[in-house]
Amino acid sequence: MKCIVQKFGGTSLGTIEKIHNAAQKVKLEVARGHKIAVVVSAMAGMTNRFIKSAESISNASDDSEYDVVVSAGEQISSGLMALALQKIGVPARSFLGWQLPILTDGSYKKARVKRVITKEIFRAFAKKKVAVIAGFQGIDDNNRITTLGRGGSDITAVVLASALKAERCDIFTDVKGIYTCDPRIVKSAQKLDKITYEEMVEMSSLGSKVLQSRSVEVAMKKKVRLHVLSSFSNEKGTMVVDESEILEKQAVSGIACNANESKITLVGISDKPGVAAKIFGPLSDANINVDMIVQNVSADGSLTDLTFTVDKSDLKKVVSVLSKRKTAINFKKLIPDSSVAKISIVGIGMRSYPGVAQNMFKTLAKNKINILVISTSEIKISVLIARNKAKLAQRSLHKAFRLQKND
Amino acid sequence: MKCIVQKFGGTSLGTIEKIHNAAQKVKLEVARGHKIAVVVSAMAGMTNRFIKSAESISNASDDSEYDVVVSAGEQISSGLMALALQKIGVPARSFLGWQLPILTDGSYKKARVKRVITKEIFRAFAKKKVAVIAGFQGIDDNNRITTLGRGGSDITAVVLASALKAERCDIFTDVKGIYTCDPRIVKSAQKLDKITYEEMVEMSSLGSKVLQSRSVEVAMKKKVRLHVLSSFSNEKGTMVVDESEILEKQAVSGIACNANESKITLVGISDKPGVAAKIFGPLSDANINVDMIVQNVSADGSLTDLTFTVDKSDLKKVVSVLSKRKTAINFKKLIPDSSVAKISIVGIGMRSYPGVAQNMFKTLAKNKINILVISTSEIKISVLIARNKAKLAQRSLHKAFRLQKND
């Protein structure tokens, strides 16, 4: 008897009707004789309302209390899903983070899972019950509720699939799979049958919001087979698999856009060793992830500028952390800029095809799109551009790399 | 250093602004050097929304999952209250039912508290923190969430006050105290400075919804001094105290109306020993509380009618339980009726003043109000009447017993 984890995102649970629909997807697999663990997100919009409440009280200064508030949505979904399953004759019971428990570290708002205790789930399986697990939440060593960050339910699903040695982890969402580009922006975008973990990590972290990137990293490490599919269709979705499972590698598999980053430029810092540490040390201490970094070469070896990007939600914190250290770091001016977008091309085949970067830059130039920052990895090239050029960039690159349907 | 429990109901926490206001009430007592445990209800309306979701899924057939869903509101309030306190410089942290824990039996939806472990609260006090406790919820022996029934946060506050040996338990609500009658219906109703536990139990169970009646019973048993007051005023409220603290006892202290009961009549049951047990046994097994009961005397000693009342929310369950046993109980017809109201006069002095019942019945008769069922206790007389006569009954009785202001 195989064990399968099925995760339903917020849009798949957005209404009572959609919860019933999701329950039917679970019933299908139960009917096939599988043991099912269901992981649920909060109903679409609910967590945002709770966040708004917490922030309107006090900018949510105490992250542990913030987590108490925002974890409520998954609790509600887990109870509702158990009820919906029972309604269609599928025995089920809900489990909250503290009831298994799912043990995490104590970094509230973005905790990391240390261990999942599966005893209760296997006990439910033994009673022929579907185990419905509230995603996104865990507890720390102090018995306090933690949350795993945006998209944290994906993490819950993956760590659970690994702990249960699940055959597969189905990620139900509102899109039919992973596309070569956002189909709302590029009409000719096509669905991929397969994508490698590495590409998916990049696509996710680059703004293709179907999967949370950390969850893909964990899936890759733990060899959890992910299946991304729509809960509103019966089509096969996209399998996220190991590189060895993909025979013909494209130079570029997809194009992603992330409009959720902000750019910060520190003007007039001294071009000496140790400056970067003075800047990024405190940011790291404040749990802020820095993405792209560019330091200009100073003409005379004395003063230079440094530009980096962070998640838009961290921008205020960055400004506060760095402003407090203005003297210690010794910069002239801090310029925040939120009107940017990061466009990335991703492909595991990039390693063996030369000229990909060249093609990208040429295409952008031809469309008069100015590149602010560039960053590259083995399988992706990202450029930061003005946000109002983001659509144009995606469309022209999608064409330039011949990703459109029937090509 | 005294310990005080302060409980805020849903209307006192209905908006972010009101939560800030409630936090100020807590700060006042903290400034006086007291150790404070705050018990919070869900924000007004929130629990009802969660109930609606649960019921629209499946009539909430599994009460344990229902409790998982509906307990989320208090969780949210506890986090928000802790944040609001921190914002005004009052160190605080939240505790959920499972975190203390508050141990209950396993009757989901209306669990009874068995024990409160206070260790974590005293630990918070030692750190000069206000402990904010989510009301209404606990856990059972299986580590599952339970809820304490409507108004259950009052119970949480009282058992906590008892366990902490608190000086006082403040019940903050949206009315200024306990009135001789509902001031929305009887304009001349006046606020009582003091009321006895016994009277308060009756007033609560009779429909004066300021306090949950079981919580008053527990307060009486545990000798917890209750102070019912408004969170939107600085006036003293009503103290609920021992009889010995009240010198001049009125014959009638107050009039209550409960429009939340339904009447059920079983027509044509046999007038033999054991019939009542056959009817009320299964209802009790189904956790349904029966309030008033009247059995007619049968003229010929064979067939008779039995009438009783239950909470409106239990009516469906009653009909289902009894219909299934129609043959076993052997009744001809079951007539449910929800268009009734129960009007009660309450007073500890009733014991020493004769003629109170006579005065009540005469007043109702004069106003052409038909009495369907009568029930009495040592300190109250209740009558069931048609609901459309409820206002008239209250107004005329309030006048007849001279309860109006400046009298």
B406 inside domain: no
Find the residue in B nearest to A80 (Cα).
B54
A66, B83: Cβ pair inside 8 Å? yes
How many Å apart are CA B60 and CA B64, to the nearest integer? 9
How many Å apart are CA A131 and CA A120, to the nearest integer? 9
Query: Which tokens in the block code for residue A340?
Result: 């940017």
B345 inside domain: no
pLDDT digits (tens, 9 = 90+) for B239-254: 999 988 887 777 899 9
- Using the 8-state DSSP alphabet, how is residue A387 labeled? G
How many Å apart are CA B8 and CA B154, to the nearest integer? 9
Where residue A75 sits, what CATH number does that domain have? 3.40.1160.10
A407 inside domain: no
Query: Which tokens in the block code for residue A308?
Result: 């980096």
Distance from CA of A80 to the nearest CA of B (A): 6
By CB atoms closer than 10 A (0-12, 13-18, 19+), residue B407 is exposed
Mean pLDDT across chain B: 92
A70 inside domain: yes
Structural contact between residues A346 and A206, judged by C-beta atoms closer than 8 angstroms? yes
Query: Measured between CB atoms, does B99 come within 8 Å of chain A?
Result: yes
Distance from CA of A180 to the nearest CA of B (A): 37
Which stretch of DSSP H or E encloses residue B340?
strand B340-346
Strands A290-295, B261-270: pairing kind:
unpaired
Structural contact between residues B173 and B9, judged by C-beta atoms closer than 8 angstroms? yes
Peptide bond into B101 cis (omega under 30): yes
B66, A80: Cβ pair inside 8 Å? no
A79, B94: Cβ pair inside 8 Å? no
User: How much is the pLDDT for A407?
Assistant: 47
Find the residue in B nearest to A43 (Cα).
B53
pLDDT above 90 (res A169): yes
Q: For the residues B298-314, what does the mean pLDDT come to?
A: 84
pLDDT digits (tens, 9 = 90+) for A242-266: 988 887 777 899 999 999 899 999 9
Structural contact between residues A135 and A40, judged by C-beta atoms closer than 8 angstroms? yes
B237's CB contacts (< 8 A; 6+ apart) are: B176, B177, B178, B191, B227, B228, B229, B230
Where does B259-379 have alpha helices with state H?
A: 275-285, 315-324, 356-366
Q: What are the backbone dihedrals phi and psi of residue A403, each rounded to the nearest 5 degrees, phi first?
A: -95, -10
User: How much is the pLDDT for B60?
Assistant: 56
pLDDT above 50 (res B407): no
Query: Which tokens in the block code for residue B306?
Result: 């039995």
Task: Compare CB distances from B54 to A53, A58, A79 and report the shortest one's residue.
Answer: A79
- Chosen from B20, B40, B47, B65 to mutate, greatest number of chain A CBs within 10 A: B65
CA distances to A226, A245, B334, B390 from A172, in Å: 10, 22, 49, 54
How many Å apart are CA A370 and CA A367, to the nearest integer? 9
Geometric angle at alpha carbon B336, from B313 and B184, rounded to 5°: 55
Q: pTM for this structure?
A: 0.81
A81 inside domain: yes
Residue numbers in B near A19 (CB within 8 A)? 57
Distance from CA of B335 to the nearest CA of A (A): 30
Q: pLDDT above 90 covers what percent of chain B? A: 72
Which has the closest alpha carbon to A10: A142, A153, A205? A153
What ipTM goes with this model?
0.77
Structural contact between residues A40 and A133, judged by C-beta atoms closer than 8 angstroms? yes
How many alpha carbons lie under 13 Å from residue A297 in its C-beta half-sphere?
1
The least confident of A366-370, B9-13, B84-88, B373-377 is B373-377
DSSP character string of A198-217: HHHHHHHHTT-TTS-HHHHH
Structural contact between residues A8 and A232, judged by C-beta atoms closer than 8 angstroms? no
Q: For the residues A200-220, what does the mean pLDDT come to?
A: 84
User: How much is the pLDDT for A206?
Assistant: 72
A71 inside domain: yes
Where does A5-45 have alpha helices with state H?
A: 16-31
Residues paired with residue B293 on neighbouring β-strands, in sequence order: B308
Domain of residue A55, residue span? 3-174
The count of domains in chain A is: 1
User: How much is the pLDDT for B53?
Assistant: 92
A404's CB contacts (< 8 A; 6+ apart) are: A180, A186, A188, A189, A190, A398
pLDDT digits (tens, 9 = 90+) for A379-391: 899 999 999 999 9
Residue numbers in B near A61 (CB within 8 A)? 83, 86-87
A180 inside domain: no
B231 inside domain: no
Find the residue in A nearest to B68 (Cα).
A79
Which stretch of DSSP H or E encloses residue B129?
none
Distance from CA of B154 to the nearest CA of A (A): 21
Q: What are the backbone dihedrals phi and psi of residue B95, each rounded to the nearest 5 degrees, phi first?
A: -135, 130
Query: Which tokens in the block code for residue B201?
Result: 């139990």
